[in-house]
Structure 1
Amino acid sequence: MKEEESLLSTQTQSGQLLHYWGNTPEQEYYSLQGIKASKSFYTSPRGLKLFTRQWLPLLSPPRGLIFMVHGYGNDISWTFQATPIFLAQQGFACFALDLEGHGQSHGLRAFVPDVHLLVQDCLAFFTLVKQQETQFLNVPCFLYGESMGGAICLLIHFAEPEAFQDQTLFTFPETRATTDGRKIADVLVEQNIVPGIKVDEGLVPLAGSNNESWCQGLDGLASRSAAYYQQGARFAK
């Protein structure tokens, strides 16, 4: 709490927000959202110190466990939290870690020496989570990945195909094909994976603001969503 208060004082003076939702302290915000949440550090089998978070529903046992992986250059402490907070409100227990070199985890910033090492880090952490609480036994388990995290989830799924009942990931563009001509989305569905897509079209300057940007993508969203569905996407973010 003292660390958060100190950071709040520093960022308030610079005009920066402490969290994507504003400057409300984390635990107070989580309580207002009707969930429980905590953060800690986990040491992977290869000795790497990784920052982790969990977002839990108030009900027990949860409807399912969702293991989440962020994208390249991102972390689990800013807008990424919006999704697990929503899922926890729906009764799902969510878990995630900052990948090596990202967020508060150790490693050279944004450097991924070997993606298979990241897969093993995630798999070891997710396995530990499933084993640490009796309430998690026999609860459905899912993988969720964004961008590069979707690729990592795919590799986790191939490494431990029986460990997760389903898998959700963002993959773009859906029109990419395999070497034998099949759509990537069709291949994912065959592996019991639900493909989705991120529908925004990037940031543009916000007129009249102090160097702020906003996300565009509402124009033509209905027609683009119909096209994404035809290409195989079954959810959007």
Structure 2
Amino acid sequence: MRTSWEEAGWERLADGVARRRLPQWDATVGVVAGTTGVLLVDTGSGLAEGAELRRQVRGVLGREVSHIALTHPHFDHVLGTAAFAGVTVFGATGMGELLRREPEALLTDAVRNGADPGAAAEAVDTLVVPQHAVCGERTLDLGDRHVLLANVGPGHSAHDLAVCVQGSAGGPEVVFCGDLVEESGEPQAGPDALPACWPAALDRLLSLGGEEARYVPGHGAVVDARFVRTQREELARRFGVSPV
């Protein structure tokens, strides 16, 4: 018997579009369902979370995830991908090479932030990295809807990918932002961030979504264009980036 998104602990954003805030690091994952495909946006922080997400999507939709889009290469957004063997995975250009080249850095970051060392090591060892690199923009056909994958970075990382979902029946567009936008706290700028480029990445994000879109941060509540624009201005001041 199928469940609803709400019964499974997800927030429904539009027809066939939902997201869930995962408990430990408040990282957001999203799902976009079409008639011929199901896209998952990010996969959580480990095999257990990934497997739970897979079961939940199956329980609501009655079918499996067919595509994954990874918004950036941080552990709390990618380590669940190991639970999705055989699924087509997309990431910004260079992300796959980075994850193959630096698995130990991914593991170290996960453990430093509180992940169980054994579970994190297993997820890193079996990690499914993006097979398809997005340079510029790429459109996914999920049957009755098209989803735009846009390489809008660098900013929060060197490999930031946005996922833009056209609204149905005249509804607003939904934009999954990854950690380019954070609502639950100040945006985190780690060692792989490119602060001088971050405001421009948010400009590109706003140009894709427009004023009426619902913007889904990597952490926190769904926001509007005004919030994204304010965060862009705050980041520019924080990092000393001159206005355009």
Q: TM-score, normalised by structure 1?
A: 0.31
**Higher relative contact order (Cα pairs below 8 Å, separated by 6+ residues):** 2
Q: TM-score, normalised by structure 2?
A: 0.30
Rg larger in 1 or in 2?
1
